[in-house]
Structure 1
Amino acid sequence: MAREDEEADPEQDGVRELLQAMEAKMRKLSDQRRTHNESARTNADKRDAVQKQYGSLRDEIKEILESQKEVRVKAKIHQARRDAIQEQLRNLFSRSKSTKSNRDKSVILQLSEKSSEVEQIEFRLERDGTLKLDAENRLHKKLKSLKNEIKELEPQVQTEMRIKIDINDLEGSIEQLKAEADEEHKQMVAFNKEADKIWEEVKPKFDERDFLKSEGDRLHDSFVKCRKDADAVHQKIDDLMTQVTTARKELQGFKDERASWITLHNKSIDESTS
């Protein structure tokens, strides 16, 4: 009996060896899958850290560029004011003692002259006690007309462009405007230099930002590849598991068949000896 149980069964041994080989391969594949998943997690952690760093740097660059933009705006304000003053200077240089219609003058110059004239009339009305009623009425009428004209001109001229001109002292006004134009130019240059300096300081950060973006993309690609590799190995394990299950059932079938044969064999012996 014992010797019969120990008799070799080549078919059963073949199935057992195949099962052992497949189980060993499954363990190896499981190790590979675990390695791929660990690599995926590592790449994901690194990617998240790099992307966080990238986001912070991107926000920092945005903030710096906003500050640079503000400086450029200041420079442009001074540039516009300088240009407006220079336009007034050109008009003053070409202005003659002869009459000149308002349509030949810039809006800025018209506004400046009319504002100066309003001040003179108001000063005279307040201080000149020798004015007769007719003259005073004419001045009030002229004052009202000038103020209406100023009201029409004002919307066309920005507040920062309005510069007073003394029409009774053109030479003095010209010198004053020259000085103001020079000062506005200096301010413009200073703000542009400041903006240029900010740009030089922020430029290297663009390279760092681009590197972090590229590194984040690379780590994400590595993460995706590791996940795909893990999924591919998992599929192999699933396929192999189907074969292992089949082999185990087949091996169990051999065992059940042998057990049944032994039971029948023992029963026949018992019957023959009774």
Structure 2
Amino acid sequence: MEADDSLSNDLSNRLHAMEAKLRRMRVQRDKHNEAARRAVDSRNSIQQQGSELRDKIKMQLDEQKEVRSQAKVHQARRDELQKHFKELISRKRGRRGDGRSKSVVIQLSETVSEIDRIENQIMTDGRLSLEKENDLIKQLRSLISKRDELLPAVEEHQIITVDLGAMEESIQRLKAEADNEHQLMIDQNKLADSIWSEIKPMFEERDFLKGEGDRLHAAFLSEREKADETHATIVEMLAKVNEIRDEIKSQLEEAKRLVRDHNQSVRNALKTPDQDEALVDSLSQELMESGSITFGGTVAESEDAEVDHQRGKRSARRLRTTRGKRG
């Protein structure tokens, strides 16, 4: 019995120690989970800031790209105007350039001038033969086709046309337009540089936010892993705790059963014959089978004494009656 009590006490002590450890581990697990939650919240906030910053950077980069494109458009116009300007100066000085290297504006201006000259000749020169007129008409058609091919190129660059009849004025006009396009190009490039100066610090901030987000994500994963490991240990320990609880419960139930059996045996030992239903039933059955029952010999002796006493009385009465008659 003492060995059982010692075993039960040992199990109880182990149970209390393990339950205390379980409580500590649950607190530790909850701390890891809370740290993981804080890390993921901070990470999400940082990533949101990074996303907004990247959108802002993209928007400004698109704006800068558009400004650079406009600067290139102005540069192309300037270059084309300067080419016309130089060609007109060469023409003014009496040097006709190679037609293959002429700008589209000069080619268009020359073509339009030639069309006007042929149309005027056909309409005003009455000495033209039919054959000559037909040749001029063919030239006119060819020049008109060339003009139609050159017009889209000139319109695409929005380049001013040149009046070869007023060459000096055209030169000044081309120079002014070229200078204006050059200034517009410079302004657009300055604007693009200004936008870039605003974007550059954003890249540094973007990189910082990305690094911070990665750090917080790593912290989240670490705390989550620690929480999972602690939880797995808790599950294993809880299984052992339940085994000990079941063992203690089994011992308690066994002890209760022994106490009940002992108490029942004591109650059975203290019962009188009239309280023992089994004994009463047994005696009743025996009486019914034999017609008489003996309890320890006491009742039988009393009955024998009673019979002898009654016989003595009857003999005495008979003796007294005889003496009376004699007297």
Smaller-chain TM-score bracket:
0.7 to 0.9
> What is residue 12 of structure 1 aligned with on the other side?
8
- Alpha-carbon distance in structure 1 between the residues aligned to 2:101 and 2:197: 45
Change (3 A) 1:100 1:273: closer
Counting only pairs closer than 5 Å after superposition, residues 36-115 of structure 1 correspond to structure 2 as: 36-95=32-91, 97=94, 102-115=99-112
Amino acid in structure 2 at the alignment position of 1:257: E
The answer to whether the Cα contact below 8 Å between 1:68 and 1:195 also exists between their aligned partners in 2 is yes
Q: CA deviation at 1:200?
A: 0.6
* 1:175-231: CA deviation from partner (whole Å, max 9, x where unpaired): 332222222111111110111011112211111222222222222222222222211
Amino acid in structure 1 at the alignment position of 2:197: E
SS of the residue corresponding to residue 165 of structure 2 reads: coil
> What is residue 142 of structure 2 aligned with on the other side?
145
Change (3 A) 1:185 1:239: same
The answer to whether the Cα contact below 8 Å between 2:87 and 2:97 also exists between their aligned partners in 1 is no
- Alpha-carbon distance in structure 1 between the residues aligned to 2:116 and 2:161: 10
TM-score (norm 1): 0.82
> What is residue 236 of structure 1 aligned with on the other side?
233
> What is residue 221 of structure 1 aligned with on the other side?
218
SS of the residue corresponding to residue 164 of structure 1 reads: coil
Amino acid in structure 2 at the alignment position of 1:147: I
Q: Aligned Cα RMSD in Å?
A: 3.2
- Alpha-carbon distance in structure 2 between the residues aligned to 1:252 and 1:92: 114
SS of the residue corresponding to residue 9 of structure 1 reads: helix
The answer to whether the Cα contact below 8 Å between 1:47 and 1:216 also exists between their aligned partners in 2 is yes
> Which stretch shifts more, 157-166 or 10-19?
157-166
> What is residue 18 of structure 2 aligned with on the other side?
22
Q: CA deviation at 1:264?
A: 3.0
Change (3 A) 1:98 1:77: closer
- Alpha-carbon distance in structure 2 between the residues aligned to 1:133 and 1:237: 118
The answer to whether the Cα contact below 8 Å between 1:108 and 1:161 also exists between their aligned partners in 2 is no
- Structure 2 stretches lacking a partner, 5+ long: 272-327
1:31 corresponds to 2:30? no
> Which stretch shifts more, 81-90 or 99-108?
99-108
* 1:74-131: CA deviation from partner (whole Å, max 9, x where unpaired): 1111000111122223433444757766334344431243245556778x69xxx966
- Alpha-carbon distance in structure 2 between the residues aligned to 1:235 and 1:104: 83
- Alpha-carbon distance in structure 1 between the residues aligned to 2:117 and 2:147: 15
Q: Tell me how many residue pairs correspond in the alignment.
A: 267
Amino acid in structure 2 at the alignment position of 1:87: K
Q: CA deviation at 1:269?
A: 3.5
Amino acid in structure 2 at the alignment position of 1:181: A
* Match among 173, 176, 185 for residue 173 of structure 2: 176
Q: CA deviation at 1:19?
A: 0.7
> Which stretch shifts more, 13-22 or 256-265?
256-265
Counting only pairs closer than 5 Å after superposition, residues 156-235 of structure 1 correspond to structure 2 as: 156=153, 159-160=156-157, 162-235=159-232
The answer to whether the Cα contact below 8 Å between 1:112 and 1:162 also exists between their aligned partners in 2 is no
Larger Cα Rg: Structure 1 or Structure 2?
Answer: 2
Amino acid in structure 1 at the alignment position of 2:50: Y
1:256 corresponds to 2:228? no
Change (3 A) 1:44 1:119: farther
* 1:9-46: CA deviation from partner (whole Å, max 9, x where unpaired): 11111111111111111111111111122222222222
The answer to whether the Cα contact below 8 Å between 1:112 and 1:163 also exists between their aligned partners in 2 is no
Amino acid in structure 2 at the alignment position of 1:215: E
- Structure 1 stretches lacking a partner, 5+ long: none
Quote the sequence identity (%).
43
Greater relative contact order (CA < 8 Å, ≥ 6 in sequence): 1
